């Protein structure tokens, strides 16, 4: 059973455009070699890292959506760890459509019960707070 995943990976900043496309192609070929299907690749471009990683301060960010059998994920992770061009990656499983809709398509979620508009004794408390300080002090004089 194929599951939906997305991978965000950072490619070394010193690569030119041709080498960057080659690195993206190698990740796409890796996904296919482990039995996955690449769906969409979005190149975010060169960005500054939040902190220094392997003496690098910048990198090319790439986001790819793909489908893969969960049993093949460790093989893909191991290959990415030894990659020369990809120095950081994060793979996240996307939520299933059945989970996001509550398990059943078309299932109605009941509306919460309405809260009673008036509470006994609340009118007296509201009436007491409406007195102005000037009214309260005139009877003391």
Residue-by-residue pLDDT tens, the chain, 141 positions: 899 999 999 999 999 999 999 999 999 999 999 999 999 999 999 999 999 998 999 999 999 999 999 999 999 999 999 999 999 999 999 997 766 665 555 555 556 666 555 555 555 555 555 555 555 555 554
**What residue ranges define each of the domains in the chain, with the CATH number in brackets?**
3-95 (3.30.70.60)
pLDDT of residue 129: 52
Q: Alpha helix (H) ranges present in the chain? A: 17-33, 73-81, 97-100, 122-129, 133-138
pLDDT of residue 96: 79
pLDDT of residue 137: 54
CA distances from 13 to 63, 85, 112 (A): 16, 9, 53
């Amino acid at each position: 059973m194929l599951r939906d995943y997305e991978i965000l990976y950072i490619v070394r900043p010193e690569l030119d455009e041709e080498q960057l496309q080659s690195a993206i192609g190698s990740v796409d070929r890796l996904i296919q070699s482990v039995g996955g299907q690449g769906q969409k690749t979005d190149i975010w471009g060169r960005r500054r890292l939040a902190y220094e990683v392997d003496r690098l301060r910048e990198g090319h960010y790439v986001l790819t959506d793909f489908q893969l059998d969960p049993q093949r994920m460790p093989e893909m992770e191991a290959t990415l760890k030894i990659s020369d061009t990809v120095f950081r990656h994060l793979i996240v499983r996307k939520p299933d459509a059945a989970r996001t809709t509550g398990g059943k398509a078309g299932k109605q979620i009941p509306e919460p019960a309405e809260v009673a508009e008036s509470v006994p004794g609340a009118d007296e408390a509201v009436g007491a707070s409406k007195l102005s300080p000037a009214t309260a002090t005139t009877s003391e004089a």
